[in-house]
Amino acid sequence: MVKIQVKKTQLPIEIGEHTFYIDTSEKGAEAFWKLVSNYATKSAKITEKLEKEMIKPETADRKAHEELEKVMDQLLGDGAFNKLFKLSPDYTLISEYYMEICSAVGEELGGRKKQFFDKMQRYLEG
């Protein structure tokens, strides 16, 4: 009998006493990259408006904070931002968490594809 281990598509992310899960299935990966791209676009627009003095620094900070809250809740689940803010009540630190999460998920997704292609290559070579 051949026993094949079931592979999980949930990547656990532990921050303090909280564990969050990110879907790394093909559909989850697509949603992740779209979320990251949208957040980067919104952040860039806020920065651009600030640089062109179209908005005040306080407004830029408020909008950036709102976008960070949204992206963290979308990424880790509703209420995630508030849990993290209780641990680290500083938007800069939560931004750092976001960057670390993105890096970890990117490595996981890239590593999984590489492993698949390496296995496939060995299989095809016999």
Query: What is the per-residue pLDDT across 86-118, written as a single tens digit (0 to 9) for each?
Result: 999 999 999 999 999 999 999 888 866 666 666
pLDDT tens across 54-89, in order?
Answer: 999 999 999 999 999 999 999 999 999 999 999 999
pLDDT band at 34 (very low <50, low <70, confident <90, very high): very high
Arithmetic mean of pLDDT, 25-49 = 95
Arithmetic mean of pLDDT, 44-58 = 96
Hey, what amino acid is at 81? Answer: F
DSSP 97: H
13 φ, ψ (degrees, to nearest 5): -125, 115
In terms of phi and psi (left: phi > 0; alpha: psi -120 to 50; beta: otherwise), the region of 67 is alpha
Token output for 61:
């900070």
How many CA atoms, within 13 angstroms, populate the side-chain half-sphere of residue 38? 13
Give the model's pLDDT for residue 109: 87
